[in-house]
Homo-oligomer: A and B are copies of this chain.
């Protein structure tokens, strides 16, 4: 269990609590949190990745990490990283020693050619999950010569990590809700639902801007009759019979349909 907190720690914990509610940008929050965590946990290096489900891509934030070394991770070491996959399997703050023995660790290429080069010797990770998958992580490292992280440090990281995961989930949910409200995305979603061809989508897009057939024709540089042909196909596929109905259908919130 958590023991007492010193005055310095208390001050930092309250600062973190305020950051967690005040900062609404995932990147900024992680940077701020990194700074606080390094201070709180007397650590030296911080890294945090979030997974953007749309691209399967990662967005990393770092403190005191060497740029060229990070590039090396992106290009090579992430593919032979023996520890991160194990950290990821843990649903709470986890110490390096809990997933690999110190001796084995010190013998890995990953440690010798990558981590040690930056001076990362003692580490702990927190991986945050939401119902539908991995959200992001907090990775804290100490340099050589420092003592290893204690149970107490793990407890603190775990408590902060849990709140951090919630904060990330909230941001993602809010973005999601706003995205669903975005007219342009609704249009493409609607088009996909009705399997419109690319040209039909072009026409529909201009229709949704309130343009007339003639304008659409001149915008797309095709004849008015072609515009009508495409539009006819859109009506055919959707089962609707007027532009106004189209727009209403596109702008209808899915939840209300």
What residues make up the interface of A, taking CB atoms closer than 8 Å to B? Answer: 1-7, 9-11, 13-14, 16-18, 20-22, 24, 159-160, 162-164, 166-167, 170, 174, 177-178, 181, 183, 207-212, 240, 242-249, 251-253
Contact A210 B7, beta carbon cutoff 8 Å:
no
Q: List 29 A-B contacts (CB under 8 A).
A: A2-B7, A2-B10, A4-B6, A4-B7, A5-B5, A13-B14, A13-B17, A14-B160, A16-B17, A17-B17, A17-B160, A17-B163, A20-B20, A20-B163, A21-B164, A22-B163, A174-B177, A178-B178, A178-B181, A181-B181, A183-B252, A207-B244, A209-B248, A210-B247, A211-B244, A212-B242, A243-B243, A243-B244, A247-B251
A162 to B207, CA, bound (A): 48
Give the chain B neighbours of A247 by CB distance below 8 A: 210, 244, 247-248, 251
Q: Which of B5, B18, B166 contacts A163 (CB 8 A)?
A: B18
Contact B245 A210, beta carbon cutoff 8 Å:
yes
Contact A7 B3, beta carbon cutoff 8 Å:
yes
Q: A10-B2, A183-B251 are in contact. Are A18 and B166 (CB under 8 A)?
A: yes
16 additional A-B residue pairs with CB within 8 Å, beyond A16-B17, A243-B244 = A1-B7, A2-B11, A3-B10, A4-B10, A5-B5, A5-B10, A5-B13, A10-B13, A17-B20, A21-B21, A21-B170, A174-B174, A178-B178, A178-B181, A207-B244, A211-B245
Q: What's the least CB distance linking A113 to chain B, in Å? A: 38
Give the chain B neighbours of A210 by CB distance below 8 A: 240, 242, 244-249
In the complex this chain forms, how many copies of it are found? 2
Give the chain B neighbours of A159 by CB distance below 8 A: 14, 17-18
> A178's closest neighbor in chain B, by CB?
B177
> A164's closest neighbor in chain B, by CB?
B21
Give the chain B neighbours of A252 by CB distance below 8 A: 183
A248 to B14, CA, bound (A): 47
> A16's closest neighbor in chain B, by CB?
B17
Q: Which of A2, A6, A183, A208: most chain B Cβ within 10 A?
A: A2
Contact B2 A4, beta carbon cutoff 8 Å:
no
Q: Which of A18, A208, A252: most chain B Cβ within 10 A?
A: A18
